[in-house]
Structure 1
Amino acid sequence: MPDIWFYHLEKTPLAQVLPDLLEKVVQKGWRAYVHGHDDDTIDALNGQLWSYSAASFLAHGREGDDLAPRQPVLLGTSGEIANGAEVYVSVAPVDFPDISGLQRCLLVFEGSDDDHLAWARGQWKRLKGEGADLAYWKQNPQGRWEKMQ
């Protein structure tokens, strides 16, 4: 089972955090699959990834695109990891696909969304009970990530 890292957003919205997380994944030479719950979420994230920085470019695509299997970052709602990703990124309370061959899973959830927070807590409890290697990252008052023990 891969390492599973929970990212609890309290200071910075998902659209600002996701590009940084994905850049780190790609810098490691890994591919990522970003799993959202609806097309509106995926559309918004797709737009953000195109425009988040004038100084850099993060190659990505959407499920169903002709080049989807070749994308280093693939956005989708199906949970089908068509790009052979090593990293699964959940940005919504969705059922996990098969994560057994992956290097890492990132569950990114907004603390202000009660449903998403409750889902993340349920996932933590379930995965902890299964013996998964879990890490919990929370934003400090300055918005930097701190690993909580």
Structure 2
Amino acid sequence: MGSAYFYHLTDSPLEATLPMLIGKARGAGWRVLVRGPDPALLKRLDDILWQGPEDGFTPHGMAGGPHDADQPVLLGDAVPADGFACIMSVGGAEVSPDEVTAADRVCILFDGHDGAALQHARGQWKALTEAGCSAQYWAQEGGRWMKKAEK
């Protein structure tokens, strides 16, 4: 049974945090789904992943291509979570309790400077924990990640 990890982004933007988390997930051998409802955001993240770190790039693809099933990291919106060990929710994308239970890890990343995003994440926390999912809440303090809550 997986857990939902909530990442309250205040010091580092999504564009820096997502590649770091994908690298950790891939290091664990997990196939990753990055789910987001905004095509423009997904395209921007796709471009960032293609640029990659100085020592390489993150192999990935955008959903809807001929090789979706072969992608170690897939970015999309209405993509079923089957076959992914890790789901990363960006831009307020929904994740169901069943998906949390089936995955090894679900990461919900949200902008801590955006009141609407913060409220949405609080709603997701409540819905998932009330459904019996384990969850952790992580926030940035002085450039470091600190676990603030666990349920």
* Same-fold call, TM cutoff 0.5: yes
* Counterpart Cα distance in 1 of 2:10 and 2:36: 19
- Residue aligning to 1:125: 126
Which consecutive unaligned segments of at least 5 residues does structure 2 have?
A: none
How many pairs are equivalent? 147
- Residue aligning to 1:85: 84
What is the TM-score of this pair, normalised by structure 2? 0.91
How far apart are residue 95 of structure 1 and its match? 2.6
* Counterpart Cα distance in 2 of 1:134 and 1:88: 14
How far apart are residue 127 of structure 1 and its match? 1.7
* Counterpart Cα distance in 1 of 2:54 and 2:21: 17
Instruction: Supply the RMSD in Å over aligned alpha carbons.
Output: 1.4
* Counterpart Cα distance in 2 of 1:48 and 1:89: 16
- Residue aligning to 1:115: 116
1:46-57 equivalence runs, <5 A:
46-57=46-57
Deviations 1:12-57 (A, max 9, x none): 1100110000000000000110011121011000001111312122
What is the TM-score of this pair, normalised by structure 1? 0.92
Q: State the one-letter code of the partner of 1:70.
A: D
The answer to whether 1:148 aligns with 2:148 is: yes
How far apart are residue 80 of structure 1 and its match? 2.1
Q: Is the 8 A contact 1:34 1:90 kept in 2?
A: yes
Deviations 1:63-88 (A, max 9, x none): 01111111111000113236x21011
Which consecutive unaligned segments of at least 5 residues does structure 1 have?
A: none
SS of equivalent residue, structure 2 residue 65: coil
* Counterpart Cα distance in 1 of 2:145 and 2:14: 14
How far apart are residue 146 of structure 1 and its match? 1.1
1:96-111 equivalence runs, <5 A:
96=95, 98-99=98-99, 100-111=101-112
Q: Is the 8 A contact 1:79 1:96 kept in 2?
A: no
Identical aligned pairs, as a percentage? 37
Q: Give the ranges of 4+ consecutive aligned residues of structure 1 lying more than 3 Å apart after TM superposition.
A: none
Q: State the one-letter code of the partner of 1:44.
A: R
